[in-house]
Structure 1
Amino acid sequence: MSSTARLTTGRKPLGWISWATLVLSIAGVAVAAYLTYEHFTAGTTLACPDTGVVNCMKVTSSEYSKLFGIPVALLGLGFFVGMTALSVPPLWRTASPWPSRLRLAAVVVGVVFVCYLIWAELFQIDAICLWCTVVHGLTLVLFGLVVIRQALPPLED
């Protein structure tokens, strides 16, 4: 979009979204890696209360902490590693449609999975994990940014 078109329409290309998704994805890698570590060490150093409604140990050791035998923390780590790879700025500017399609598909799957996990926490486990909530929030913000950017016209170099 040229600067003249920007002045006429008042819309900016929102190029900052690629950097924001990269930063959020890296933060997600860090939190998911921590949760994965905690899963495999039986939560011995889990920095979260373990009583009442906020009970990370109850959530991370529940039957819902695995899907088909795979720890959901590990699935989250894979999701954020993939999102980090798809969020590097050159992949936002490529002429190929595949990175944007993969990014959109990934965040849609991520949000659906987050909805399932929130349902499990609230209605099955009766506890909330603060670290998991951070992952859920990061996924929802990533979803919003990717959808917003997808809805806008392509960026010009």
Structure 2
Amino acid sequence: MAATAGRSARTVGAGWGFALLLVLTGAAGLLASWVITIDKFKLLEDPDFTPGCSLNPVVSCGSVMESDQAEAFGFPNPMLGLVAYGVVVCVGVGLWAGARFPRWYWLTFAAGCLFGVGFVSWLQFESLYRINALCLWCCLAWVATIVLFWYVVALLVRTGLVPAPAWLAGFLGEFAWVPPVLHLGVVGMLILTRWWDFWTS
């Protein structure tokens, strides 16, 4: 009980490297969300508009934007990204300036990251096996979200904000890059195998 209380009371900051990672991943997601939002407005104004990233039948941003999945909550998904990735950038800048946050704040932030990675995983499945098209800007947001999620998990484990075995904390302290690389590798392989005939033709 005392250990739990101590964990809740203390605040945790992060080095400039982690802060920079938050700023970069947040900025990447923000850029992707902004471009998709602008293109979505243009598509609503002109149904014949073709987004610049619609390159071929597979890499077709327009097909993704016009799908039902692009408005999962009743409004264009990138509008959610404009808010969420903006928060990530703000947290990163705060950490860079020396801010330290309590455990509840980090857990709330991690919960948001978990929702984000779960949401993009669903979108990946829908893009590959339902919509049958990829959006390059969406892919950028996917990468940013996956990298962000795993580095936040690594921070929580190695700082003791989330209880974990010592070996796991040590591993994530030294090799925090491994989970996101493996995760992105799996997504890349799914994309490659899904359209193998197209890529090799």
1:60 maps to which residue? 65
Please give the per-residue CA displacement for 1:84-105, whole angstroms capped at 9, x wherever unaligned.
Answer: 2222216874152233122211
CA distance in 2, matches of 1:33, 1:66: 15
CA distance in 2, matches of 1:94, 1:139: 22
1:47 maps to which residue? 52
- What TM-score do you get using the length of structure 1 for normalisation? 0.80
2:17 maps to which residue? 16
2:146 maps to which residue? 140
| Counterpart check, 1:99 vs 2:105 | yes
Q: CA deviation at 1:50?
A: 4.8
Greater helix fraction, Structure 1 or Structure 2:
2
- Segments of structure 1 that go 5 or more residues without pairing to the other structure are 1-12
| Counterpart check, 1:84 vs 2:85 | no
1:92–1:25 Cα change, 3 Å: farther
SS of 1:87's partner is helix
SS of 1:41's partner is helix
CA distance in 1, matches of 2:68, 2:40: 12
Amino acid at match of 1:100: W
SS of 2:151's partner is helix
1:112 maps to which residue? 118
Give the alignment's Cα RMSD to 1 decimal: 2.2
Amino acid at match of 2:21: A
1:92–1:64 Cα change, 3 Å: farther
| Counterpart check, 1:153 vs 2:159 | yes
- Segments of structure 2 that go 5 or more residues without pairing to the other structure are 1-13, 161-201
Residue 121 of structure 1 is aligned with which of 106, 111, 127? 127
